[in-house]
Amino acid sequence: MSLLSEASITGLALGAVYGVIALGFVLIYKSSGVLNMAQGSLVLVGSFLCYSLGVQLGLPFPLAIVLTLVLSLAFGFLIERVLLRPLVGEEVLPVIMVTFALLIILENSVMAIYGPEHHLYPQYLPVEPIRFAGMTLGWVYILALAAAALLIPSLTIFYKRHRIGIAMRATADDQQVAQSLGIKVEQVYGSAWAISCLTASVGGIVLGTIVGVYFGMSGIGMKVFPALIVGGMDSIVGSIVGGLMVGLLENIAGVYLDPVLAGIKDVSPYIILLLVIIFKPFGLFGLKRIERI
């Protein structure tokens, strides 16, 4: 198997994880206009929670995954109720700072509780890799792509068809009109946060399976922002496409540029981010906003 195709497959899998995490960010942004900087640390919390349930408490691993997802739904509601509800209608900076503070609290709590060690999930996927068209594929990468392939259509359908999804779109369009039509805006915000925590946990569990559960995952979680900017901040499709592109470019840069410039792999998403902001600020699928005085 060639170096390029291997790098592309792992890059796409990583990119799918970025996309899944970015999806949660887009949901919150679209329904409430809140920019959730803590998305990366929610990933960290999700993966460590699953580790606690599945390894430290010794539950069967599928049960641990399901429990993690349920708990993260509840956690999302809680965050919205405690931190974001008092700041409805504030400017950009206070809201962003609250989510940054949330990031600091979550990351440091994880650090204080679990320490800096590297943990591993039990081997819950088959060890034997799949051979497909001359390529060898680890099950983890299939898992990553499957998670993305499952979440995107279901969330899109939820957004288009389900009552709360439609309420979310209405709220995103105009909060006051939505409220006067009888939509419970608080419920909409709460569900957006809950779903966002859910997708972050899915991303966290998949990421934990690929690279192991450790504190440095928060740095991986930060790379959703390049994905968001490339795809456009308010587009579900864009978040996935952006995630895939950033993951792919990052891994290809890792293969071809790392021998020349050591460590360029980790910083390349941010170089992409800067270039996109300078030349195409609203990304590939983002809505271009026109301002009036």
Partner 1 sequence: MLPNGVLADTYEEDKALIRTKAQWGILIGAIVFFYVIPPSVLSGSWISVMNRWGITIIAALGLQLLTGYAGQISIGHSAFIAVGAYTSAILTTRLGFPIWASLPLSALSAGMIGIIFGLPSLRVKGFYLIMSTLAAQFIIMYIVTHIGLTGVQSGISAPRPSLGNINFDTDRSFYLITITMLIICTYMAVNISRSKPGRAFVAIRDNDLAAEVMGISLLRYKLLAFFIGCFFAGIAGALTAHWIGHVSPERFSLLQSLWFLGYIIVGGMGNIAGVFFGATLIIGLTEWLSLGLQNISMSYPHAALWVAPFVNILFAVIIILFLIFEPKGLAHRWHITKANYRLWPFAY
State the residues that interact with partner 1 by CB under 8 A: 35, 83, 86-87, 90, 92-94, 96-98, 100-102, 104-105, 107-109, 111-112, 115, 222, 225-226, 229, 233, 261-264, 266-267, 270-271, 273-274, 277-278, 281, 291-293
CB of 256 to partner 1, least distance (A): 17
Phi-psi bin for 67: left (phi > 0), alpha (psi -120 to 50), beta?
Answer: alpha
Q: Measured from the CB atom, is 140 or 264 closer to partner 1?
A: 264
Q: Check residue 132 and report its DSSP letter.
A: E
**Burial annotation 164-175 (CB, 10 A radius, 16+ → b, else e):** bbebbebbbeeb
CB of 185 to partner 1, least distance (A): 19
Q: Measured from the CB atom, is 105 or 150 closer to partner 1?
A: 105
Task: Please give the angle made by the CA atoms of 285, 210 and 137, to the nearest 5 degrees.
Answer: 85
CB of 204 to partner 1, least distance (A): 19
Q: Measured from the CB atom, is 21 or 83 closer to partner 1?
A: 83
Residue found under tokens 């060890």: 127
Task: Calculate the alpha carbon distances from 21 to 58, 76, 131, 162, 171 in Å.
Answer: 27, 14, 28, 21, 22
For 137, list phi and psi in degrees, rounded to 5. Answer: -120, 125
What string of DSSP letters covers 171-183?
A: HHH-HHHHHHTT-
Q: Measured from the CB atom, is 80 or 107 closer to partner 1?
A: 107
CB of 282 to partner 1, least distance (A): 8
Q: Measured from the CB atom, is 102 or 244 closer to partner 1?
A: 102
For 187, list phi and psi in degrees, rounded to 5. Answer: -60, -40
Q: Measured from the CB atom, is 4 or 267 closer to partner 1?
A: 267
CB of 269 to partner 1, least distance (A): 8
Q: How far is CA 50 from the centre of its chain?
A: 16
CB of 62 to partner 1, least distance (A): 32
CB of 125 to partner 1, least distance (A): 32
Residue found under tokens 């981010």: 273
CA–CA gap between residue 264 and residue 45 (Å, rounded): 27
Q: Measured from the CB atom, is 139 or 270 closer to partner 1?
A: 270
- Is 179 buried (19+), middle (13-18) or exposed (0-12) by CB count in 10 A? middle
